[in-house]
Structures are given as structure tokens and as C-alpha cells.
């Protein structure tokens, strides 16, 4: 299609945001919105089964704009809009977006290969090993996208009303989409190699800058092309979710969409694990080198262990009678390393080292917030180790630098405790929700990266501008600045979002019983 995938994706997500804003401002969430507007002539009538609508040759028209299915001349002239129910038209739009976005994605991949990877000047500058790290198996990814797109195009051309696309998604995910895992798992090496090349090879930097200025790139950066496969496989899962929300319940199309979604979720999880694996291993090795044990040594490096949070807190030494001593010596610095299964408590010593003086399994930690007891005890909480390094119970009174930092530590240390809006032992009924209107890249392990149009349950929030949320489409949890989103105020819209989420995850028994029961941290 006419748009590069980066442009298509941006337009699509921003349109989704505006649609949700409009719905949120309405009393009835079922009222139609600009992106799903049905023409006035679309009154339901009895189907004309003998009618043979014209075929769509949309994908062969490279000048096509960003269109809705119902806006296509072929659709409007066919009279099919007077036959279909409004819900079916919405479903056609959802399937149509999956097809057209794949066409746009394939166009961007071709540009990455032809304009950058196969550029003769770039080939001369890069050593074959550097080129391999930079572009990985993008040719395999492009071949898979082309085959996928051809099958989607063939389905669209069978009939002006699309019968289904999720069966095609399922087959390609099972048989071909493993190439995405290979590409995405290379992402850490790829980013590192790209930064190194920009720094060490001025000729590389110059050629990339010139290629980016070409009108073909439409002002988009080289790195935005490199990250396309990871963005696409994640977006594809969301597009299938969107179809799943619109198909008839207990129908063949629902079963097909559930199967496709389940397989895509497996691929996306494998991609995420591939990205995390190398960085986690390097991080654990680095931490192990910095630790010196005052107590019995604990092996830090494990293939099933990773860092959740680290940082400095103030430990209260004990009650002081002197007001002078109280201000000077009430607290002393300690440093915590919290892993997914272990807490290590240290004091920083010279040489960028940390002396470990206590530890406990993460499952044996409990936290308790102190009531406000004045400025010196603001943002203070109690950390209890039910069984510490000496096999006994221990308590620490800890002070954080801010309210958000205190809450972030408390939730990381004891993730299943009740938050401001939700008890994790009860079903989420109507907690606050937020829509992401600005993308956010996580800066700390306990933070959550956000994409435009993500919808999240708000589990907790702080007075200094941070939200702890759970994203509906994948149940990932983490902290992010409240300025990244807009709260969804309409309770009917919130209920609808939750209902759709339960439906998407109905094939998962644990998700069907209780949304949010699993802690992804």
C-alpha cells in the first residue's frame, strides 16, 4: 500500500485512541464511532444469496490510501453494505486491517533490504560478520511475510466479503513464524553493533545519514526499520485480538481466532524471552562480581533467576533520645538487590562493591506501610524476613526517597499484597483504567514499556505521578508515569474492556477464573 508500516501503524493506533476517547465521552459505548461508522443505507435486509459481488484487487494498487473496508469503491458500488449487519461490517474492518497492515509491513521490509542492506557503499564498509549481526535473518522474515501476504491476498480476492483470516494466521504462525524468534532474539546484539558502528566508523555513519534522507524513507530512521519485525509480531497478536472481540461467540470463527491468538502469544513470549536472556545473563554476572559475603555465600547466578529491582534505602538504626542524634543517626544507607526468587541486603563499600549481610527467599518477605508519623518517618515501611540468612525472623524499618519509590519497593518485595484499588485475591470488577497516549520505554526493571493505545487496569498510583498498572492484552504489570495516559472515566467502557479481555483469554483456564491472578514480575 502507499504507506510505510511505521506510518500505517502510527495512524492506526492514533485512530484507535481517538475512537476510545469518543466512546468514553458517550453514555452508550455501543454508539458508532468514526472508525466504525456505518453508512445510512446499511439497513439489515434479507441476504441476496445469488448476488456475486466484484473481487477486490486492492493489494495490487500501490497508490491506495489508508482506507476503511467500507470506503472502498468496490464495496460501495456492490450494494453489500445494505446486506450486512453492522456487527459484520465491524468484523470486516478488523480483518481488512490485518491484511492491509501486512501489505504495508512487507513494503517497509522490502525497503530495509533494497535500500539499506543491499546498498553497495554499505556493503564495502561492513565486514560480513557486522552485516550479519545488523540485519540478522531479515531475508527469511521478508520471505515469510511475502508468503503470508499472498495467502491473505488470495483470501480477499475470493469474495468481496472476507470469510476469515485467522485460519491463515494460525497456519503461518505454526509453520513459519519461528523466523521472528530468531530475528528478535538477536535484538540486543543488533542494537549494540549499531551503536558501535556509529561510534567507530564515520563512513558508516555518513552513508546511513544519506540513505535516511532519501525521500523513499519519508523521514524515518534506519533503526525504525530494524525494529519492524518485533513491532509487527506484537501488533499481529493485537489485530487477532480485535477480530476475536468481534466474531460471533461459540462460532467456528471464534475458535479459529482463539487458536491463532494462542499460537501468536507463544511466539511473542519466545521473542520476549530471547531478548531478555542475554541481557539478564550479563547482568547477573556483573552483579555476582560486585558482591562480597559477610554471611554464608549464596550462589547468585542461575538460569532461572533475574533482577527485579535494585537501589539504596535508608535503614532505621533504632530509637534515639537525643534530638541531635535523631536527625543525624536515625538512618543509615543500605543497598538491596531483589531477584525474582531472592532478596540480598548489602552495604556499599569502596571499589563499587557491596557487602552482603542478610538475605531471604522472596516468597518469605512481608511488608507493612507505617502511618504518617511526621517528616522524619515519611515514606517509611517495615520489611519482615520470615526466614533470613541465619534461619530466623528479622525486621527492617526502611525509608525511601519518595512515596512512589516506597510503593514500588513494597509491590516488588511482596507482589501479592493488596494495592490501592485491587485485592489480588479477588476478581477485578471495576478498578480504574487508563489508555496510553504517549509511548514509554521502561527505564528500570520494575517499569512497563507502553505502546500507543495500550489499555491498562490501574492497580495503584502515587501522589508524585506514578501508576502501577496491568496491561489488558497480555497481563504484564509495571510502573509508568501517569502523564503517559488518559484515564477512562466511562464505567460502561471499562466493563466492556474487561469483558473483551476475558473473552480473548477464555482458552486459558487460569485467565478465565481470575484476571490478574498471575504475577508476571
Shared-domain flag, residues 197 and 271: yes
Distance CA 235, CA 98 (A): 9
Indicate whether 170 belongs to any domain.
Answer: yes
The domain of 398 spans: 294-319+329-413
Shared-domain flag, residues 306 and 436: no
Shared-domain flag, residues 243 and 143: yes
Indicate whether 52 belongs to any domain.
Answer: no
Instruction: List the CATH number of the domain containing 281.
Output: 1.20.900.10
State pLDDT tens for residues 217-245. 999 999 999 999 999 999 999 999 999 99
Shared-domain flag, residues 275 and 378: no
pLDDT at 320: 43
- Above pLDDT 70, what percent of the chain? 83
Sign of CA pseudo-dihedral 227, 231, 232, 233: positive
pLDDT at 375: 67
Shared-domain flag, residues 305 and 447: no
Shared-domain flag, residues 128 and 183: yes
φ/ψ (deg, to 5) at 359: -160, 165
Shared-domain flag, residues 269 and 339: no
State pLDDT tens for residues 155-209. 999 998 999 999 999 999 999 999 999 999 999 899 999 999 999 999 999 999 9
Q: How many domains does the chain have?
A: 3
Shared-domain flag, residues 406 and 449: no
Shared-domain flag, residues 274 and 304: no
User: 235, 269, 286: which is the final residue of a domain?
Assistant: 286
Indicate whether 50 belongs to any domain.
Answer: no
Which residue bears the cell 468514526?
34
State pLDDT tens for residues 296-339. 888 899 888 999 999 999 998 765 444 444 455 578 999 999 99
Shared-domain flag, residues 187 and 110: yes
Sign of CA pseudo-dihedral 274, 435, 19, 88: positive
The answer to whether the CB of 394 falls within 8 A of the CB of 382 is no
Indicate whether 166 belongs to any domain.
Answer: yes
Q: Which residues of 110-148 are buried (b: 16+ CB within 10 A; e: fewer)?
A: ebbbebbbebeebeebbeeebeebbbbbbeebbebbeeb
Write down the pTM of the prediction.
Answer: 0.80
Distance CA 53, CA 419 (A): 55
Instruction: List the CATH number of the domain containing 401.
Output: 2.30.29.30
- Measured from the Cβ of residue 80, the count of other Cβ atoms closer than 10 Å reads 23
Amino acid at each position: 500500500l502507499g504507506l510505510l508500516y511505521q506510518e500505517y501503524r502510527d495512524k492506526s493506533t492514533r485512530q484507535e485512541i481517538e475512537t476510545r476517547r469518543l466512546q468514553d465521552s458517550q453514555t452508550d459505548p455501543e454508539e458508532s464511532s468514526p472508525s466504525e461508522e456505518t453508512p445510512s443505507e446499511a439497513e439489515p435486509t434479507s441476504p441476496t444469496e445469488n448476488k456475486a459481488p466484484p473481487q477486490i484487487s486492492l493489494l495490487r494498487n500501490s497508490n491506495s490510501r489508508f482506507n476503511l473496508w467500507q470506503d472502498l469503491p468496490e464495496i460501495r458500488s456492490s450494494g453489500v453494505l445494505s446486506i450486512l449487519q453492522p456487527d459484520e461490517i465491524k468484523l470486516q474492518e478488523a480483518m481488512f486491517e490485518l491484511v492491509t497492515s501486512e501489505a504495508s509491513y512487507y513494503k517497509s521490509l522490502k525497503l530495509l533490504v533494497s535500500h539499506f542492506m543491499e546498498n553497495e557503499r554499505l556493503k564495502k564498509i561492513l565486514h560480513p560478520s557486522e552485516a550479519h549481526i545488523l540485519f540478522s535473518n531479515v531475508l527469511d522474515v521478508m520471505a515469510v511475510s511475502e508468503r503470508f501476504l499472498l495467502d491473505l491476498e488470495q483470501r480477499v480476492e475470493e469474495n468481496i466479503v472476507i470469510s476469515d483470516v485467522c485460519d491463515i494466521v494460525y497456519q503461518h504462525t505454526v509453520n513459519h513464524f519461528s523466523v521472528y524468534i530468531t530475528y528478535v532474539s538477536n535484538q540486543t546484539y543488533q542494537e549494540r553493533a549499531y551503536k558501535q558502528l556509529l561510534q567507530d566508523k564515520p563512513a558508516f555513519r555518513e552513508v546511513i545519514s544519506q540513505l535516511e534522507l532519501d525521500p523513499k524513507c519519508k523521514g524515518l530512521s534506519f533503526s525504525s526499520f530494524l525494529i519492524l519485525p518485533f513491532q509487527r509480531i506484537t501488533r499481529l497478536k493485537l489485530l487477532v485480538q480485535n477480530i476475536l472481540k468481534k466474531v460471533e461467540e461459540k462460532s467456528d470463527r471464534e475458535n479459529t481466532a482463539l487458536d491463532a491468538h494462542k499460537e501468536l502469544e507463544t511466539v511473542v513470549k519466545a521473542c520476549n524471552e530471547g531478548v531478555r536472556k542475554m541481557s539478564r545473563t550479563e547482568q547477573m554476572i556483573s552483579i555476582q562480581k560486585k558482591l562480597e559475603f559477610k554471611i554464608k555465600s549464596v550462589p547468585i547466578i542461575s538460569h532461572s533467576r533475574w533482577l527485579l529491582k535494585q537501589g539504596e534505602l535508608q535503614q532505621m538504626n533504632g530509637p534515639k533520645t537525643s534530638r541531635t542524634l535523631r536527625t543525624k543517626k536515625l538512618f543509615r544507607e543500605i543497598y538491596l538487590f531483589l531477584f525474582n526468587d531472592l532478596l540480598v541486603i548489602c552495604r556499599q563499600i569502596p571499589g563499587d562493591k557491596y557487602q552482603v549481610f542478610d538475605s531471604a527467599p522472596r516468597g518469605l518477605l512481608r511488608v507493612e506501610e507505617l502511618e504518617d508519623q511526621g517528616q522524619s518517618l515519611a515514606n517509611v515501611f517495615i520489611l519482615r524476613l520470615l526466614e533470613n540468612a541465619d534461619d530466623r525472623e528479622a525486621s527492617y524499618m526502611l525509608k525511601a526517597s519518595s512515596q512512589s519509590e516506597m510503593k514500588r519497593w513494597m509491590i516488588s518485595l511482596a507482589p501479592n499484597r493488596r494495592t490501592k484499588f485491587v485485592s489480588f485475591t479477588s476478581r477485578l470488577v471495576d478498578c480504574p483504567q487508563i489508555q496510553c497516549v504517549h509511548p514509554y520505554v521502561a527505564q528500570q526493571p520494575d517499569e512497563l514499556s507502553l505502546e500507543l493505545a495500550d489499555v491498562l487496569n490501574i492497580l495503584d498510583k502515587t501522589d508524585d505521578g506514578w501508576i502501577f498498572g496491568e496491561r489488558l492484552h497480555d497481563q504484564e504489570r509495571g510502573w509508568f508515569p501517569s502523564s503517559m495516559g488518559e484515564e477512562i472515566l466511562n464505567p460502561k467502557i471499562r466493563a466492556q474492556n474487561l469483558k473483551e479481555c476475558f473473552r480473548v483469554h477464555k482458552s486459558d483456564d487460569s485467565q478465565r477464573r481470575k484476571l490478574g491472578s498471575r504475577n508476571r514480575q
